[in-house]
Amino acid sequence: MTEYKIYGGTPLVGSVPISGAKNGALPLLFASILAEGDCVFYNMPDIGDIRLGVEILTRMGACADWRDAHTLRINTDGFTPDAVPVALTGQMRASSYLLGACLGRFGTAPAPCTGGCDFGNRPLDCHYEVFHAMGAEGDGSLYTRQGLHGCRYVFPRVSVGATVNALLAAAGTEAATDLAGCATEPHVVDLERFLCCIGVEIEGIGTSHLTVRGKKKRKGASYVVAPDDIEAGTYLCAVAATGGRVRVCDVTPGALSPLLAVLRRAGCEVEQSIDSVTLLCDGKLRGVEIETAPAPGFPTDLHPPLAAALCFAGGVSILRERVWQQRFRYVGELSKMGACTQMRGDTLVISPAQMHAAEVTATDLRGGAALVIAALATEGRSVVGQRKLLERGYENLPHKLRLLGANIV
């Protein structure tokens, strides 16, 4: 099946379990290249990008087996940086983590062939800048003459991927690598903690200033993947759109605070416990003004799901996207459902509209989630094509939505 069929207009009610974070699990998967012996990851999400990442590593010599649907054992002792399966690595952005992991372990790295959501140009200049600062040479594949030598480096802009890659490379040298301007997203902090589990020393964990001292001998470890804040936030945006009462379970409420603050401003009620958040919405959202930013700002990956919910607000909303220049491709599809929007440079203005069911097509992972949310909140039968784009990052989406009373196949 290539599409979702959604019969919308019903408030969402119930509890939904949240999976491990896609953007947290992927760096951990590639970080296993740095560890000798077995790594065991718990709470791995059962999604397309993880299965793709495991396939890439096994094609390059790793051994992997699933102990259950969410527990992965991986051993990369037999991994070599040669023969990159470019047909696979070209399907996702996280393949770029092969650069840092291979550099950290072997002192060389194959040229990456990466893909991922189409947001226009997605350069790797910051990644290569920090590798060169550490002593690596090359502008595609990388090599070192005398190994990595650590460095003091200040990122010119906050980059999740470049921070991840710098951490992976720095893990391979005992010389101190001092990094300022690092990303502090929860899933980057997860990687920092895992690297410490395999023997790397990191000062400043959770902050934007990290000092990394790698180890020549790094032993495999077990690790529990943190919850997916973006998946959880997507379900909260869905109930904000449809009205109802939804509890997202197995989450870290603190990591959801930027979204919760916006949803409170929009008129939703929030209840939280140590590992869950409940959102109550009466279906009468107020318009809000937000702009995306790296952590601790409002996460760019929740911009499309929130925008979909704001199409059902009673007032005007203004949403400024400060991370990706071209993240608005989904807006054209939302307009097919009656959304009343206006683009002003990097800012989207959303006005109240009478939304209607339609046949639309996902443009990317989070843009597709926005279309599903809009369909859930709209009376009638909608179709969202290119469901495989959503299956990359949302585990069991139809099943989880049916737990909340949605009519989706």
On the question of a cis peptide bond just before residue 258, with omega within 30 degrees of 0, the verdict is no
Least distance in Å: CB of 355 to ligand EPZ?
A: 24
Least distance in Å: CB of 296 to ligand EPZ?
A: 12
Question: How far apart (Å, rounded) are the C-alpha atoms in residues 91 and 77?
Answer: 25
Least distance in Å: CB of 91 to ligand EPZ?
A: 12
User: In the complex, which residues of this chain contact ligand EPZ (CB under 6 A)?
Assistant: 22-23, 26, 93-94, 117, 122-127, 157, 159-162, 300-301, 323-324, 365-366, 393
| C-alpha to C-alpha distances, 118 to 77, 121, 168, 365, nearest whole angstrom | 34, 8, 25, 10
Least distance in Å: CB of 51 to ligand EPZ?
A: 15
Give the alpha-carbon dihedral of 393, 399, 400, 405, to 10 degrees: 140
91 vs 242, which CB is nearer to ligand EPZ? 91
| Residue 134 and residue 68 in contact, taking contact as beta carbons nearer than 8 Å | no
| Residue 335 and residue 308 in contact, taking contact as beta carbons nearer than 8 Å | no
Q: Which residues pair with 6 in a beta bridge?
A: 382, 408
| Closest residue to ligand EPZ using C-beta atoms | 161
184 vs 378, which CB is nearer to ligand EPZ? 184
26 vs 331, which CB is nearer to ligand EPZ? 26
160 vs 246, which CB is nearer to ligand EPZ? 160
Question: Buried b / exposed e across 337-346, counting CB within 10 Å, b at 16+?
Answer: bebebeeeeb
313 vs 397, which CB is nearer to ligand EPZ? 397
Q: Which residues pair with 383 in a beta bridge?
A: 5, 359
Question: How far apart (Å, rounded) are the C-alpha atoms in residues 365 and 327?
Answer: 11
H/E stretch holding 112 reads none
Least distance in Å: CB of 264 to ligand EPZ?
A: 23
Reduced to 3 states (helix: H, G, I; strand: E, B; else coil), residue 258 is: helix
| C-alpha to C-alpha distances, 286 to 16, 79, 232, 259, 344, nearest whole angstrom | 25, 53, 21, 15, 21
302 vs 355, which CB is nearer to ligand EPZ? 302
Q: What are phi and psi of 197, to 5 degrees?
A: -65, -30
288 vs 370, which CB is nearer to ligand EPZ? 370
| Residue 77 and residue 37 in contact, taking contact as beta carbons nearer than 8 Å | yes
Least distance in Å: CB of 163 to ligand EPZ?
A: 8
| Residue 195 and residue 202 in contact, taking contact as beta carbons nearer than 8 Å | yes
Least distance in Å: CB of 362 to ligand EPZ?
A: 12
Catalytic residue among 39, 102, 117, 268: 117
126 is an active site residue:
no
104 vs 305, which CB is nearer to ligand EPZ? 305
Question: How far apart (Å, rounded) are the C-alpha atoms in residues 117 and 138?
Answer: 26
Which residues 6+ apart lie within 8 Å of 355 measured at CB? 311, 312, 337, 338, 339, 374, 377, 378
Q: Which of 173, 176, 168 is nearest to 203 (CA)?
A: 176
Least distance in Å: CB of 168 to ligand EPZ?
A: 13
Q: Which residues pair with 347 in a beta bridge?
A: 320, 344
Reduced to 3 states (helix: H, G, I; strand: E, B; else coil), residue 314 is: coil
What residues are labeled active site? 117
